[in-house]
């Protein structure tokens, strides 16, 4: 068990420690890129926007469904 802990400690110190081959600013770029991807939504194309707008104008939800609801008859 001790050898696995020592191996993990050595690996993480080589990646993140002061003697690592990867500078700290490079890790900050990776972290910033991950946060950017999580926080900034994907851009929608003009076609997606127009489709959603047209669906909302005819009473739909904007995701391709029509605004008309089907009546369901209750079974007795």
Q: What is the pLDDT of residue 67?
A: 45
Per residue in 16-68, pLDDT tens?
A: 888 888 888 999 999 999 999 888 877 778 888 888 888 899 886 555 554 45
Residues 6+ apart with CB under 8 A from 69: none
pTM, entire model: 0.42
Q: How far apart are CA 31 and CA 33, in angstroms?
A: 5
Per-domain residue ranges of the chain: 2-57
Structure tokens at 47: 């076609």
Q: What is the pLDDT of residue 29?
A: 94
Report yes or no: 67 and 59 within 8 Å, Cβ to Cβ.
Answer: yes
Report yes or no: 51 and 45 within 8 Å, Cβ to Cβ.
Answer: no
Q: What is the pLDDT of residue 33?
A: 93
């Amino acid at each position: 068990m001790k050898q696995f802990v020592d191996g993990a400690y050595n690996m993480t110190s080589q990646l993140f420690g002061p003697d690592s081959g990867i500078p700290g600013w490079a890790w900050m770029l990776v972290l910033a890129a991950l946060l950017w991807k999580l926080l900034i939504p994907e851009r929608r194309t003009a076609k997606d926007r127009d489709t959603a707008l047209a669906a909302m104008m005819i009473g739909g939800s904007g995701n391709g469904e029509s605004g008309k609801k089907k009546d369901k008859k209750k079974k007795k």
